[in-house]
Amino acid sequence: MERVPVLKLGDLLIVSIQIDLQDQSVLMLQEDLADAIVESRARGVIIDITAVEIVDSFIGRMLSTIASISRMLDAETIVVGMRPAVAITLVELGLSLGGVRTALNLEKGVAMLKERGGADPVAVPE
């Protein structure tokens, strides 16, 4: 059973999905992530799906579920690196991933979370 690692970067958590997701590993990822959010008091979660080439409704639902779980624990979820083909497939499937924010790549995702505030409680000098 392959586990998807949850990486901590400052007060962000980064999940990079690089394997074919099975039902079991998705459930484990959800548990691991919920634990990690509580443990590290993270304010943001970034899910990187750059390496995901094939999606189905199951993966679409997984992303929504993770976003909901994170929101319950007061962390914002951003999905980054979605490929064009994946985006088209999700649209054709009628999944618009309501409640999930997206960014083009990891860099922009991190910038977006920082900008949202809360991530950095340091006062920015004018």
Applying CB under 8 A, the residues found at the interface with other proteins are 79-80, 82-88, 90-92, 96-97, 101-105, 108-109, 115
- The number of beta carbons lying within 10 Å of the beta carbon of residue 125 is 4
Shorter beta-carbon distance to other proteins: residue 36 or 78? 78
- Measured from the CB of residue 124, what is the shortest distance to other proteins in angstroms? 10
Shorter beta-carbon distance to other proteins: residue 1 or 126? 126
- Measured from the CB of residue 87, what is the shortest distance to other proteins in angstroms? 4
The values of phi and psi at residue 16, to 5°, are -110, 115
For residue 84, what are the contacts with CB-CB under 8 A and spacing of at least 6?
none
Q: Is 125 left (phi over 0), alpha (psi -120 to 50) or beta?
A: beta
Shorter beta-carbon distance to other proteins: residue 84 or 121? 84
- Measured from the CB of residue 95, what is the shortest distance to other proteins in angstroms? 9
Q: Which residues sit opposite 15 in a β-bridge?
A: 6, 47
